Amino acid sequence: MSEELARRAVACPGWRWLPGMRCLDGSRMLRAGRDLSGPWQAWSDEHCDACACKLRPEETRDDLPDLSDPATVGCLLALVREAWDWPNAFACHDEIGWYVPNGQTGCSVEWQIEASDGERHDTEAAALVAALEAAP
């Protein structure tokens, strides 16, 4: 996956790190919480060793997500569902490429092509980033 796509993802208003996501340095978010010092996140080290986790203030995390990681893509789908307030949102693939249909009007083949305005993406992650960018 490209760094450009990852940068587009984190620039979206609906973006946030979720537990399970992996960043490009190989570390993975283990959990998040809030205490008297404010919001925080626990991250594994670069070798995904959960015993060597690092606590970081939420606002200092500026890494990019690894959009080739299946768990990160699944979390990205969760963010799209939240941003669009459509709990059953999904990414589709046809002979042209990947897209996320608009769930408000149905799901016939004709509707999918019309609703997507012909925009298709090379990967599921790219389609999900585009959907997050277009969220209201």
Top pLDDT among 84 and 61 is at 84
Going by pLDDT thresholds of 50, 70 and 90, the confidence category of residue 56 is low
- What is the H or E stretch that residue 34 is in? strand 29-35
Tell me, what's the pLDDT at 35? 62
Cβ neighbour number for residue 82 with a 10 Å cutoff: 16
User: For residue range 98-127, what is the model confidence (pLDDT) as tens digits?
Assistant: 888 766 544 444 434 344 445 788 899 999
Distance of CA 136 to the CA centre of its chain: 16
Location of structure tokens 């070798």? 47
- Closest to 65 (Cα-Cα) out of 110, 3, 124: 3
Tell me, what's the pLDDT at 12? 95
- Total domain count for the chain? 1
Would the pTM of this model clear 0.85, i.e. be above it? no
User: For residue range 69-104, what is the model confidence (pLDDT) as tens digits?
Assistant: 999 999 999 999 999 988 888 888 888 888 887 665
Tell me, what's the pLDDT at 121? 87
Structural domain of residue 101, as residue ranges? 3-133
Cβ neighbour number for residue 2 with a 10 Å cutoff: 12
Tell me, what's the pLDDT at 105? 47
Q: Report percent pLDDT > 90 for the chain.
A: 31
